[in-house]
Amino acid sequence: MDGILASLLEKKDLLIYIDMRIAKLKRFNIKSIPIENRERVSIRLNGRIRELEQLKEVISMNRLKKCAILYWRQDKQAKEEKLNENTPH
């Protein structure tokens, strides 16, 4: 299969998966959770939905590779800073 076509199918598959996952999370019956845990579960569900929507936007705008590199660099820098904080001078 042509590289461009394969990429388009892959992108389409990812977007479909994300849409289905978001729909499933939105259908989750929060009332099935004990009252004392509902707020925590609701926050987590909403966070997952927001993260999936952000990922969908990144994929739709063809920025997945750029964002992945950026996040990797930020993570690497944060780890290096943490290591430097924990290293005695």
Domain that residue 79 falls in: 3-86
Name residues of the chain where pLDDT drops below 70. 1-2, 4-5, 8, 89
- What number of H helices and E strands is found in the chain? 3, 0
Query: How far is it, in rounded angstroms, from Cα 85 to Cα 80?
Result: 9
pLDDT tens digits, 40-55:
999 999 999 999 999 9
Q: How many domains does the chain have?
A: 1
